[in-house]
Amino acid sequence: MADLTSNFIGISSPNPFWLASAPPTDKEYNVRRAFEAGWGGVVWKTLGEEGPPVVNVNGPRYGAIHGADRRLLGLNNIELITDRPLQQNLEEITRVKKDYPDRAIIVSLMVPCEEQPWKDILMAVKDTGADGVELNFGCPHGMAERGMGGAVGQVPEYIEMVTRWCKKHTKMPVIVKLTPNITDIRLPAEAALRGGADAVSLINTINSITSVDLDAMSPEPMIDGKGTHGGYCGPAVKPIALNMVAEIARNPETAKLPISGIGGVTTWRDAAEFMALGCGNVQVCTAVMTYGFKIVEEMISGLSQWMDEKGYTSIDDFVGMAVPNVTDWQYLNLNFITKAVIDPDACIKCGRCYAACEDTSHQAIEMSADRVFSVKDDECVACNLCVNVCPVEGCITMKEIPAGEIDERTGKPVEKAYGNWVDHPNNPGNSCASG
């Protein structure tokens, strides 16, 4: 039986599934329900400094992007950090940690970009018994306009400075939460490491407007006729998150920096993908806001079963295993050749592959008078578009044809390429081609 126990930067939890800092972790009631459901840890919703309370809108806070079946693909929010009193949150954190000593509780923090406020709030959190803190340098709306959140996360020098302050004033592990609203995610990660961060977490939400009300002519969600940009999350952002995680994991400067993965984790498979790219654990938000806390049961059982099938006894066995296989385009093997193959028995004759290839790709699929579809090998460049548009899983596959061998279907030898673009005679060797 696979052991899902997680030891992330010295913080132990019974499994690698944590709840991200968000509405699901805003209060004691929610967190207790989450722990009873089986979550290994939580990042308590972001706390701010003592003073005038944070005021959220009293209207719609979320916008959404749905698939054709109303499945929630992406969620946009304009909610701010916690609007509950700091002392109340601290008391609740203390009680919950006392009752669930085996679960991880990380406290997310965001205060003005000055050393004293950071020192003060770290001192306040210390007595709760929390396992660590997460510095929220990612929130893209509301707080960013006040010089916090994403406004800090977009400036590596600020990240390094604030992280250094926090490491100076606390012995708790410090996780730096990074914003995706930046060109090169490696730079803020490197800054966090220079500042002494124990780990980074990413991605925070992506700056977004999800829709426009064409009657009111206002972005949604709409508050009294006006709208604003918010933070985008959910399954739709997973590809962006995976790429940014991989960029940090394969960067020599940050390769050993622990990562907590965030961004569209909905199933155990999503979690395994993040961990294969270097994440020591994952954080979840939109999925529980869609399906409730009990989805962790499927995540735990699914990951455990997959690990058993693969022969992994602990999550450390596969964390980072995919990182060596992430490379730059110029190093891809140009001798690797595949061709599309259509299974006539599985085909439902919908014609999507034909339409997509004929109209937008390489005219490599033929359609007979009785709607039987076949691949023209001479024209097929193995782009994989037909596989992706086909509604029947496994109906169209890509068959590898070793270079230099005879293609049995055409009777012609498969041409040899040049290994990779670095060795290609047409490579001008300029900065663009050489990376």
- The residues annotated as belonging to the active site are 139
φ, ψ of residue 217 to 5 degrees: the values are 55, 55
Q: Where are the alpha helices (DSSP H) in 341-425?
A: 352-360, 385-389
Burial of 29 (0-12, 13-18, 19+ CB in 10 A): exposed
Task: Using DSSP bridges, classify how beta strands 211-213 and 338-342 pair: parallel, antiparallel or unpaired.
Answer: unpaired
Secondary element (H or E) of residue 238: helix 238-249
Distance CA 52, CA 55 (A): 9
Q: How far, in Å, are 29, 355, 363, 382, 384 from residue 347 at the CA level?
A: 51, 15, 19, 19, 16
Dihedral through CA 369, CA 372, CA 373, CA 376, nearest 10?
-70
Secondary element (H or E) of residue 126: helix 115-126
Q: How far, in Å, are 9, 106, 210, 355 from residue 173 at the CA level?
A: 7, 9, 35, 54
φ, ψ of residue 17 to 5 degrees: the values are -95, 110
